[in-house]
Structures are given as C-alpha cells and as structure tokens.
Structure 1
Amino acid sequence: MSSSLALALVPLFLTAPATPVITPTVITQTFEEPADADDPAIWVNPRNTERSVVLGTLKEGGLAAFDLNGRTIGVYPAPLPPTPDAKPGRFNNVDVLGDLAFVSDRGRDRIRVFQVDERGARDVTNPATKPVFSKTEPEVDDQHTVYGLAAGRVDGKDVVVTSRRNETSIALLQVVKGDRYDTRKVSTLDLPSTFTLPDGRNWTVCGEPGEGPQVEGMVIDERTSTLYAAQEDVGIWRIPLRSNGFGKPQLVDKVRTWGAPQKYNPETEECEADGPNPGFGGKWLEADAEGLAIADDVLLASSQGDSRFVAYRTSDMKPLQDFKIADVEHSDGADIVLGKLNLLVVHDGERPNGTGFAFIRF
C-alpha cells in the first residue's frame, strides 16, 4: 500500500480481524424513491478544505451536494422529459475535475457539467449538448445510454470517459470549454463479452437477452494515463489512455464467477448457476465489480456481491487488504482524496427506507 494511504488507514486497521470493519464518521440523509443514491465524488476546496463538498447522484432525484458533516446543502433536479412519452433525466455517475463536476445522465444520454464551489453546484451544461451513444431521440428512450463515468487530465487535455448501459462500449470525450460546457466524443472501445477459458472452451457472460456485460465503476490514474474500468460480471480492466484514444485493454483481476456456467431465467430475470464453478475466476471480487477509486498507487474496488472493498497496488494489481464499512451494503460508487483532506466516501446501497452515502474521515 502507498505510504501516505497506509499511514492514513493504520488507525482504522489496528487490532482488526482478517477483514476489518471500518465505522463511518458520518452518514448522509436517507433518500427514498424516486431518488436513489448511486455514486459520490469529492470537490476539495482549495481555500479551506473544511468547506469542501461531496456530490452524490440520486438517479431520477438528480444530484445532491453535502458538506463534510454529511448535511445536504443542495439538490439539483435531473432534466424533465422533452415530451410526455420520453424518458426523464437520470443521473448515474459523477466525477470531479478542478471545479467542474461531470455527470452521466443515463435518462437523456448526455454528459452534464456542473460548476462546484463551497455553496454547492450550478448546472453549466451547453443546452445544445448532444447524446453520446444514441443517434436519435427515440433511440435515447431505448436506454442504451451513458452509464459509468470518470474524468481526468490526460496529455494536457480535460477528458471524460463514459460507458454504455447494457453494452460493453466505453467512449472517450474531450471537454469543450466556454461560457457553457460541452463534451466531444473522440474515440470508442468495445470490451469483450466472450472469453477463452484456460481449458480452451469459450465462455460468454450471461445476461438478459439483448443485453451485454456493462461497465460502471471507472477511474483515471492521471499519473500514468491509465483508465481502470470495472466490467460488472467480468472484473477490472487496465486500459492505457491518451487524450484521443484508448490503448490495449488488459484484464487485471476477475470476479469469482468468471468462467462459471450460467443461464438466464426469464421467470426470475436473473442469471443462475448452470453447473459447478471451474475456479477460473479471481479470489477477491464477488460480482458485481463496481465502484473504483484511486489514491497514490492504490486502487480501491467495491466487491458489491459481498459488500467488501479491496485495495490493490496498481503497479502489479497485488491485493493488499480487504475491508468492510459498517452498515454499508451493496456499494456502487466510491471516491477518496488524501492530503489536507483525508476522506473516503462510499455509496450505501441498502438502508431500511432507501439509500445514501457514508463518509470516513481519517
């Protein structure tokens, strides 16, 4: 583990069991339907870190802003549907770059941009921004739209990477600055859905007919120009990143069920085991592989299926430590910052009456 992250987390792991459990410092309010918490991001106030802001997507509930005590300081609604029969806005993932927050609007297939300060966030999206993956508005309503998201600075340019719901595609966009902000798609990459197993057989990821194994959790390591992407039923990909395109993807860890025979049950609308697991998968991630966050040379990944988090050393993807966060279940997204503000924020996916976010100060 990196020296700074290790020193920061030592008090949390002292006298801990094999899988330590960390108690949140604070938790946010609980959000109930139609609001549904999903993914957080941290804006660090350059003038006063104690007045930093945490953002969290609420799907059809929009975007929320919190102070460091977990108090809600603003909620910014997702766009209304353009016509009565169209899908409304639905904010899925968020990431912060400088004083801008980028949000994947799954409902409308757009990237939304917000200006962030200590008072909260303000929408500065160009109203003429176009869908990322859909060619027409009726296609937007099919909802094979923007999903996961990561932002970063690569080759001196501000970029956003977003994935496509129910598909294996990811897209690279460059940020277009002005009085209002837009994003311009410059490259796409399709990850596989079929893999050759060690015994020579082909294995195709199980899914509902017409749906592929999607990516959601993503993070950009700006120091090495690398994208880490969690393909939910597959594992974690490491992908070299340029400002105008992707390098060759490498699957650096797999979920435990990778390679296991499964079949789709239309009655339960779930994939179910269809034979013994041959053991070709990884040892650390229980599908879905979800939220990713990076601190120095450590990558944190959400093992959503068993509500754990796993820390990897990025240089060789060696697992360093797994841990749980008390009362946090089925976490989708996470963000972490180190320095003057040492803060980990995670999505809390299962509360008695809804969902929310948990903060860990260290």
Structure 2
Amino acid sequence: MTSLSKRAVYATCSMIALALIAPTATAQTATIAAVRETAPVASPGDAADDPAVWRNPADPAKSLIVGTDKSWGLNVHDLSGRLIASAPAGLVNNVDLRADVMVDGKAAILVAATDRSEDPKGKLALYALETAPAGLRHLAHIDVESDGVGDVYGFCLWRRAPDDVFAFIAYNNGDVRQYALDLSGPAPTAKMVRDIRLATQTEGCVVDDRTGQLYVGEEERGVWRIEADPGSKAAPEMFAAIDGVNLIADVEGVAIIPKGDKGGYLIASSQNDNAYAVYDLESGRLARHFRIVGSGTVDAVTDTDGLEFAPGDFGAPFGEGFLIVQDGDNAPANQNFKMVPGDALMRLIGSK
C-alpha cells in the first residue's frame, strides 16, 4: 500500500508519462455504480487495504467479508456491510481465505494475512473463520524469512487440495516467496519452497485455483503470470503491462473473475487512475477500463488498493456475485470497502 505522498509522486509521474508516450490504444472508460459498502475501519488515515469473501454454500445470505485494518487487525462484516466481529491481528496488509482446508484434522475456513508488526517486518497471521457465531479463531503468527528482502506486503493463497495449501508473500523489494503450509497439527508452520524475483516492488497477487496460475502485480511495470507449482522452472511472463493509458502505475489489487473451467477475466486496480482494467484470461486482451461511481448514499471509489471478486449467487442484489474494492477516500468517515453487483459488471465487460 502506498503512502499519500508516494501516490502524489506517482500521479505526477503518470501525467508526465502520458505527455511523453504516444499510446497505441486509447482507454474507453466506462462507469459502474457501487450499491453497498462496509462500515468504515476504526483507524484513521491509510488503514483499510484488502478484502476476502467467504460464500456460505448452505445460506449465501449469511456469507462473510474479511477486511484488513492495517493499523490494527482484521474485521468481519456481513453482506449488509455491518461489522460483526474483529481480531487484533497486528499491522496486517493483504488478506486471503480458502474454505474446505484441513486444519488440525478438521475442515476449516483458513484466513491468512501478512503482518508487518515487528522489525524485521515479516509474519504470516493465520486464523480460522468461524461462522456461527461469526468470528476469527487465532491459529498462529509465523515468522517468515526477512533476510534483507524488505517488508511483507502482498499476499494470496493457493489451495491445491484440502491438505495441500500454499501461501505467496510479495515483498516490497520485488521478491515473491512461496511457502508450503503445514496445517496438520495444532501449531501450523510454513516452509519456504520457492523465491521468485521480480525487479521492483510487488503487492497484489491472486492464484487461479482452477489452473494453478499465479498473477502478481509489480506496481510500476504490470501484472505477471507465473506457474504456481513450486517445482516449475518456467519464467514469469508479462500478462498485462502498464501502458500509461489502460493500466497506470501503481498496480495494486488483482482478482480473478472465473468463467467455466479455465476462462474468465483478471481485474487489476489502476490506482493512480482511480480506475480498473479488465483482461481476458485466455487471450490477455483488454476487455474493459472503468471507474466506480456512487449511488444513493454510497459514494464513488478512488485510490483502490485491494479488491476481490466473489462468484456465485449471494441473493439480491448479488445474484451473480459481486466485486468488492477498497475505497481510499471515504471522507468524512474513515476508509472502507465498496460493493458492485456481478451482473452489472458482466454487462459492462460484455460477458452477458
């Protein structure tokens, strides 16, 4: 997550770049409305960052949203946006979750986040999401390698099987480290199994569990696609490069919008453009560039860090899932997360 001063620098640089570069394509910017929002985080300033969503298969209306407050910990919201539980998890930046994970011999909903509370800043915070009543049960805070690579920043999980789960931590020097999680006992552990080196600061990442592909946002260069298998020797490939028009530095959150067995889209936060770029997963073609506007009592979204697309039927108005994004300016209140109906997003992309 960038500071406000860093954002201002990047915004200036982006304007200079637009003046100097003659792009081959022009962004056609559409708009879409946010219809719901979460309660603001308790901490002022640059505090909210990244959301994750658990869909309740038995009663989708009782699904849960987990979001970070970088100055304090993790918050749990219901689909109305109401705060219903929280945990003082530390200075957590990015969060992800996976359901149907075996933890200490029992099926659980695993929640994990990067925690920068200590110096050197490098911990992995693990929780189990409880659903009745809603809450977060602490599993462990695990020290992860911090041998000169910088602070832990971005984060995502890969569930290859219920008992085969990996964590990817993006560091602010460009390293992306893969950890195999051992959740078989009461005290989880993490072992580094791969170190992927990119040139500059990374943050947002997501794994497509259907295909085993990892997507990582390098803030000033674009989104990379990488084989998630720890044994892979394939080099990262640029999937969506910053062009100063459709995707502008810095690239922040990335998420998968699945369609079928392997198709769908990748959505990336083009932060200093206050916009989002959507790319076809199979062709890499730009599908849409858009901004999120307000509706009624929900205000517009700017300066987004983390985001998530939650597929499936959650009930009206989210019968075809929803996009949830961090809002960097929710004045006069503190930062929060805004929600966009999936069916409206699919129409905007042209997928319906």
Match of 1:295 in 2: 257
Structure 2 match to 1:328: 301
Q: Distance in 2 between matches of 1:230 and 1:215?
A: 6
TM-score, normalised with respect to structure 2: 0.75
Q: Quick one: structure 1 residues 34 and 300, their matched pair in 2 at CA, closer, same or farther if it must change by over 3 Å?
A: closer
Offset at residue 39 of structure 1 (A): 0.4
Aligned position for 2:345: none
Greater radius of gyration (CA): 1
Please state if 1:59 is matched with 2:38: no
Which residue of structure 2 aligns with residue 25 of structure 1? Answer: 35
Per-residue Cα deviation, 1:148-176 (whole angstroms, up to 9, x for no partner) = 001112377211111112x0101001111
Q: Equivalent residues in 2 for 1:1-362 (5 A)?
A: 18-31=28-41, 32-33=43-44, 36-78=47-89, 89-98=90-99, 99-108=109-118, 109-118=122-131, 119-126=133-140, 129-130=142-143, 132-135=144-147, 144-154=150-160, 157-165=164-172, 167-177=173-183, 178-192=185-199, 213-244=200-231, 247-256=234-243, 283-296=245-258, 297-326=264-293, 327-341=300-314, 342-353=321-332, 354-362=334-342
Unaligned residue ranges in structure 2 (runs of 5+): 1-26, 100-108, 259-263, 294-299, 315-320, 343-352
What is the deviation of 1:105?
0.6
> Is the partner of 1:352 in helix, strand or coil?
coil
| 8 Å CA contact 1:188, 1:245 repeated in 2 | no
CA 1:159–1:244: 2 relative to 1, 3 Å: farther
Q: Is the CA contact (8 Å cut-off) linking 2:267 and 2:277 kept in structure 1?
A: yes
Q: Return the alpha-carbon distance in structure 1 between the equivalents of residues 275 and 47 of structure 2.
A: 21
* 1:340 CA drift (Å): 2.1
1 CA distance for matches of 2:94 and 2:309?
15
Contact 2:114 2:155 in 1 (8 A): yes
Distance between the aligned counterparts of 1:334 and 1:287, measured in 2? 16
Q: Tell me, what secondary structure is at the counterpart of 1:95?
A: strand
User: What percent identity do the matched residue pairs reach?
Assistant: 29
Letter in 2 for 1:65: V
Q: How far apart in 2 are the matches of 1:247 and 1:256? A: 25
Q: Distance in 2 between matches of 1:284 and 1:164?
A: 25
| RMSD between superposed Cα atoms in Å | 2.1
- Partner of 1:305, secondary structure, is helix
Q: Deviations over 1:268-326 (max 9, x none)?
A: xxxxxxxxxxxxxxx41111111101021211111111111111111121011122111
Query: How far off its partner does 1:29 sit?
Result: 2.1
Runs of 4+ in 1 over 6 A off after TM superposition: none
**Aligned partners of 1:155 and 1:243 also within 8 Å:** no
Cα distance in 2 between the residues matched to 1:171 and 1:235: 18
How far does residue 328 in structure 1 lie from its aligned partner after superposition?
0.4
Distance in 2, Cα, partners of 1:182 & 1:225 = 22
Kindly indicate whether the alpha-carbon contact (under 8 Å) linking 1:187 and 1:245 is maintained by their aligned counterparts in 2: no
Task: Give the Å deviation of 1:101.
Answer: 0.9
Q: Which residue of 1 aligns with 2:4?
A: none
The answer to whether the Cα contact below 8 Å between 1:45 and 1:117 also exists between their aligned partners in 2 is no
1:239–1:246 CA contact under 8 A, matched in 2: no
What is the CA-CA distance between 1:33 and the residue it aligns to?
2.1
Contact kept, 8 Å, 2:304 with 2:327, in 1: the verdict is yes
* C-alpha distance after superposition, 1:217-251 (max 9, x if no partner): 10001122110000001111011110455631011
Asked if the contact 1:329/1:348 (under 8 Å) is kept, the reply is yes
Q: TM-score, normalised by structure 1?
A: 0.73
Deviations 1:78-121 (A, max 9, x none): 3xxxxxxxxxx310000111111111112231111111133333
Q: Secondary structure at the match of 1:125?
A: strand
Given the superposition, is the C-alpha separation of residues 352 and 309 from structure 1 closer, same or farther in structure 2, using an over 3 Å criterion? Answer: same
Aligned partner of 2:126: which letter? V
| CA drift at 1:183 | 2.1
Residue 75 of structure 1 and its aligned partner are, at CA, apart by 2.1
Query: Secondary structure of 2:29's match?
Result: coil
Residue 315 of structure 1 aligns with an amino acid whose one-letter code is E
2: CA distance between counterparts of 1:237 and 1:231?
7
* Separation (CA, whole Å) in 1 of partners of 2:68 and 2:269: 17
User: Do 2:154 and 2:169's aligned partners in 1 also have CA atoms closer than 8 Å?
Assistant: yes
